Structure 1
Amino acid sequence: MVKRLKILSLILALGAGMAVGVKVYKLSKNAPTPAATGQEEKESTATKIDVDKLRQEVLPSSGFKVKLPWKDMGRRLVAIGVIDRSKFDKLFADQKDLLQYLERTDTEEITINSQTAQFWVDALWALGLANKSEVLDKGPMMTGGQAGNFASTGGWTIGKKPAMTYYSKHVLIPLTIEQQRRVREVADNIYRPCCGNSAAFPDCNHGMAALAVVEMMVGQGKGDDEIYDTVLKFNSFWFTQTYIDLAYYFQKHGTAWREVDPKLLLSRDYSSAGGYTKIRKEIGDVPELRSVGGGSCGA
């Protein structure tokens, strides 16, 4: 009898041990894994996002063809002296094919890419500087009475005379009062990451160039959506790193680059210096987003 009780006790003990073992095993199977570190999470996200494919979408090697009624504007800018042709010839001596835009009279479409980005920021800068504009005459550029001290004016060294000789002096793009108002409204929504100002305060070359694009397109009766889309294409090649980073940010949050509203991308929250800095801080250090360069605010 005693022997049978000992055997029964042993069986019960073994059963309890197995039950405990099963319970412990189940607990360990269901236990949450330790949270990934910030760096591990970034590396995992970068692996999921094809950065090279993203880069090609934002900055296609062939660039973008944009409908811009440039026509004979290059000739006119040279004629009034805001562009000194000899200085442009030296500046773009290795890209003589681009100088055709200072001679042709029939240009309705241009290509913006990594090779043409500097030429177009300079040519459009000249136009934005010289064209008669309420943005220049009545906007923040004139608030302090020192319009000649900004990068977009004092930094213009490739004209025949100082920048203020041409500042808002020539009706190169005829605009009605209503069109001038619309230019101001659209430009006020367009920022660039070199500063915290919109194109309605074009205190640098990129701001002045963006203003010129807006004026040309408003003058042609183009819609707001088309204007924002066009300016974004220019900005993308003027500030390449910024827009690669923004594309990565939106992709990380589940939105493809092509689905993001250009007006939103150009807004203060994303394209101003402050807005972009916040986005960059959230992205953190992602090796795949290696530096691809960007524009400076000088000629």
Structure 2
Amino acid sequence: MTEEPQAPGRNDVNGEAHDIPINQRISRPRKWKQVIVRLALAGIIFVSGLVSGYFIWGHSQSNQTASLEMNALMNTVNPKDGFKIQAIYGDVGPRLIAAGAIDLAIFTQLYQQAGQPLSAQEMDVLTKGSSEQIAITRENAHFLLNYFWALGLTNKNAILNEGPIHQASGGQIDQFASTGGWTIGEKPVTELFSSAEIIPLTTEQQARVEEVAKAVYRPCCDNPTHFPDCNHGMAMLGLLELMATQNASTDEMFQAAKYANAYWFPQQTFEQAIYFNTVQKTDYAEVGAKQVVGMQYSSGSGFKQVHQWLEENGYLENAPGGGNNCGV
């Protein structure tokens, strides 16, 4: 009698056909092949974990390095220890209060409400005067902005009486941000404007102020300090006048303007610093002050071109803190 062939995967045990378990049907070479594949996959997963972990760590390190570099750059723009201006406070503060330019109660309340109460030293500057050399810092930049704004607005000067701001006023001098925006005086701004000889200038000193004022711009508009139609322009005028009366040179005045702008416009100046580093391969501290504050880089339109170039070339960064506006 002919035996029927056994179906694949079946075995005759005691004359009966039984299924062979699948794991017994796999040959030894195939088993080893699966083991090798599994080990290889495990190795790939392990290595992938290491590599991804490395890249995450590397990305974190890269971010930390970039942050340190940006902070270092910001320190050249706004030095932590401040920038010393070639002038002392003198008795300007008490004179401004006496002239009605500053209402001390409103002035101090303004800073308290902003969470930046005036320091004892700043109160002395306002009420007693000071023989200390002026240093603009991150902490007092806002105080000095308003302090010099009051001075530029109130001190009698031909730039205000005969210059572009007078010519553009149409008889309404309070229509500008630098005039109508001054709301913390004891008198109406129309009475304060160029009303008191807080710091009289000689003819030679006036000539220096006008020379520098015509060449110092600010990135909020296209007007130089010679046309002080916003608070930054009026404050810069006050700063230049004070320096001139204390016989600072024009170079010293330009240098002070460079750093006053830097503290009053930290974001814009930070971008300028990136631009100078990238395009001119020059640190901000080494760039000529007259070049920095000139129309090409520090006017509204000039800064716009700097900003646009940085944006188009992937260099745009936000300054580590800081900001500005054209109000009190």
Per the normalisation by structure 2, the TM-score is: 0.73
Residue aligned with 1:81, SS: coil
Question: How big is the shift at 1:290?
Answer: 4.6
- The residue correspondences of 1:42-191 to structure 2 (distance < 5 A) are 50-93=69-112, 94-97=117-120, 98-144=122-168, 145=170, 146-191=172-217
Contact residue 266 and residue 322 of structure 2 kept, 8 A: yes
Question: How big is the shift at 1:294?
Answer: 2.1
Contact residue 89 and residue 96 of structure 1 kept, 8 A: no
2:91 counterpart letter in structure 1: D
1:280 counterpart letter in structure 2: H
Contact residue 188 and residue 200 of structure 1 kept, 8 A: yes
Question: Over residues 4-41 of structure 1, what are the superposed CA-to-partner deviations in whole Å (9 max), with x where a residue is unaligned?
Answer: xxxxxxxxxxxxxxxxxxxxxxxxxxxxxxxxxxxxxx
Question: Which residue number in structure 1 is paired with residue 259 of structure 2?
Answer: 233
Further displaced range: 53-62 or 173-182:
173-182
1:221 counterpart letter in structure 2: N
For structure 1, the 5+ residue unaligned runs are 1-42
* Change in 2 beyond 3 A, CA 1:214/1:294: same
Question: How big is the shift at 1:223?
Answer: 0.8
Residue aligned with 1:68, SS: strand
In the alignment of these two chains, the number of paired residues is: 255
* Change in 2 beyond 3 A, CA 1:55/1:291: closer
Contact residue 87 and residue 248 of structure 2 kept, 8 A: no
Paired with 1:59 and 1:80, the residues of 2 have a C-alpha distance of 33
Contact residue 67 and residue 108 of structure 1 kept, 8 A: no
| Deviant stretches of 4+, over 4 Å | none
Question: How big is the shift at 1:104?
Answer: 2.7
Paired with 1:156 and 1:71, the residues of 2 have a C-alpha distance of 23
Question: How big is the shift at 1:288?
Answer: 4.3
Paired with 1:272 and 1:132, the residues of 2 have a C-alpha distance of 26
Per the normalisation by structure 1, the TM-score is: 0.80
